[in-house]
Structure 1
Amino acid sequence: MELLKGMKAEEATGGRTIWRNIIWLIILFAYSLIGGILFSAIEGNYDKSELLKKYEQDLDIYEKHQILQVEIFQKLREIDLDQTYLQNSTIISTEVKRQKMLHVNDALNKYEQKLGINIKLPIMEDTRWNIWGGVYYAASLYTTIGYGNFHPETPAGRIISMIYAFCGIPLVFTILLEWGFLYYTWLDMFWKWFNVKFCASAMQKHLKRRLAKEKTRRAGSDLSLRLTSLGPLTQIESGKKISQLPIELSEAEGQRTVPLKAALIFFFLWILISAFIVRLWETNWTYFTAYYYFFTSLTTIGLGDVVTETPNYIIFNLALTMIGLSVVGLCIAIVQAKIRLIFDRMIRSIDSQYRIRQIDPDVATMTVIPNEKEGIKRLCEAQPIQDRIIYIAMDEHKKQLLEDRWRQRSSMINRITQTWPSRADKCIQTGQRVDEQPPPRIEGSSTLSDEAEDADYDPVTGKRVVPPSTRRYIYTVFD
Structure 2
Amino acid sequence: MAKWTTLKSVFFCSTVLTTIGYGNIVPMTLEGKAFCIVFALVGIPLTMTVIADWGRLFASTLSAVMKRIPPLPKSIRNAMVARRTSSYALSAICFLFMYLAAGAAIFVLWEEDWSFFDGFYFCFITMTTIGFGDLVPKQPKYMLLCTLYILVGLALTSTIIELVRRQYAQSWRQLQALRGPLAENFRKFADNAPGLDVLAFQQDLMKVLTVVSMPRRIGSKKEKKDKDKREKEWEEALQAVIQDITAKAANKEKQMLQIVIYESSV
Q: Is structure 2 residue 241 aligned with structure 1 residue 467?
A: no
Asked whether 1:384 is paired with 2:211, we answer: yes
1:295 corresponds to 2:168: no
**1:141 touches 1:165 (CA, 8 Å); kept in 2?**
yes
CA change 1:157–1:376 in 2 (3 A) is: farther
Change (3 A) 1:192 1:467: same
Aligned to 1:144: 19
Q: Which amino acid aligns with 1:383?
A: T
CA spacing shift, 1:363–1:466, aligned 2, 3 Å: closer
User: Which amino acid in 2 is paired with 1:326?
Assistant: A
Query: How far did 1:348 drift?
Result: 2.0
Change in CA separation of 1:275 and 1:370 when aligned onto 2, cut-off 3 Å: same
**Counterpart contact for 1:357–1:363, Cα < 8 Å:** no
Contact 1:282/1:308 (<8 A) preserved: yes
Distance 2:129 2:107 in 1: 18
Q: Match of 1:318?
A: 147
For structure 2, the 5+ residue unaligned runs are 216-248, 254-266
Measure, in 2, the Cα distance between the counterparts of 1:370 and 1:284: 64
Which one of 59, 84, 92 corresponds to residue 184 of structure 1? 59
- Whole-angstrom CA distance in 2 between matches of 1:187 and 1:138: 30
Residue 360 of structure 1 and its aligned partner are, at CA, apart by: 3.5
Q: Is the CA contact 2:171–2:210 (under 8 Å) kept in the aligned structure 1?
A: no
Q: TM-score, normalised by structure 1?
A: 0.41
- 1: CA distance between counterparts of 2:134 and 2:19? 16
CA distance in 2, matches of 1:363, 1:158: 72
Contact 1:270/1:324 (8 A) holds in 2: yes
Alignment root-mean-square deviation, CA: 3.0
| Contact 1:191–1:258, Cα closer than 8 Å, also in 2 | no
Partner of 1:199: 72
2:108 to 245, 257, 279: 279
For residues 124-139 of structure 1, the aligned pairs below 5 Å read 127=3, 129-139=4-14
Does residue 327 of structure 1 match 2:200? no
AA aligned to 2:52 is L
Which secondary structure does the structure 2 equivalent of 1:268 belong to? helix
CA distances 1:114-138 after superposition (whole Å, capped 9, x unpaired): xxxxxxxxxxxxx3x1111111111
The alpha carbon displacement at 1:376 in A equals: 4.1
- List aligned pairs for 1:318-397, cutoff 5 A: 318-361=147-190, 368-370=197-199, 375-376=202-203, 378-384=205-211, 387=214
What displacement does 1:262 show?
A: 2.0
1:375 positional shift? 4.2
Cα shift readout 1:177-234 (whole Å, capped 9, x = no counterpart):
111112111211222122xx132768x99xxxxxxxxxxxxxxxxxxxxxxxxxxxxx
Which residue is 1:160 aligned to? Answer: 35
Contiguous gaps of at least 5 residues in structure 1: 1-42, 45-126, 206-254, 389-464, 470-479
- Structure 1 residues 316 and 466, CA, compared in 2 at 3 Å: closer, same or farther? closer
TM-score, normalization: structure 2? 0.71
Cα deviation per residue 1:232-267 (whole Å; 9 max; x = unaligned)?
xxxxxxxxxxxxxxxxxxxxxxx8325322222111
Partner Cα distance (2:191, 2:96) in 1:
50
Q: CA deviation at 1:370?
A: 2.2
Alignment-derived partner of residue 270 in structure 1: 99
Distance in 1 between the 2:185 and 2:213 partners?
27
SS of alignment partner, residue 285 of structure 1: coil
CA apart distance, 1:328: 1.1
Partner amino acid for 1:335?
V
Task: Give the counterpart letter for 2:210 in structure 1.
Answer: Q
Letter of the 1:286 counterpart = S
Deviation of residue 362 (structure 1)? 6.3
The equivalent residue for 1:103 is none
Q: CA offsets, 1:132-173, max 9 Å, x none?
A: 111111111001000011111111111111111111111111
Aligned length: 213
- Tell me the CA shift for residue 333 of structure 1: 1.0
Match of 1:169 among 41, 44, 52: 44
Amino acid of the structure 1 residue aligned with 2:55: G
- Classify 1:387/1:164 alpha carbon distance in 2 versus 1 (closer, same or farther; 3 Å): farther
Amino acid at match of 2:33: R
Structure showing greater Rg: 1
> For each residue in 1:340-363, what CA deviation from the matched residue of structure 2 results, as whole angstroms up to 9, or x when unmatched?
212212212322311322543368
| Partner amino acid, structure 2, of 1:266 | F
How has the CA–CA distance of structure 1 residues 353 and 363 changed in structure 2, closer, same or farther, with 3 Å as cutoff?
A: farther
**Counterparts of 1:353 and 1:198 in 2: how far apart (Å)?**
34
Given that 2:51 and 2:155 are in contact with CA atoms closer than 8 Å, whether structure 1 keeps it comes out as: yes
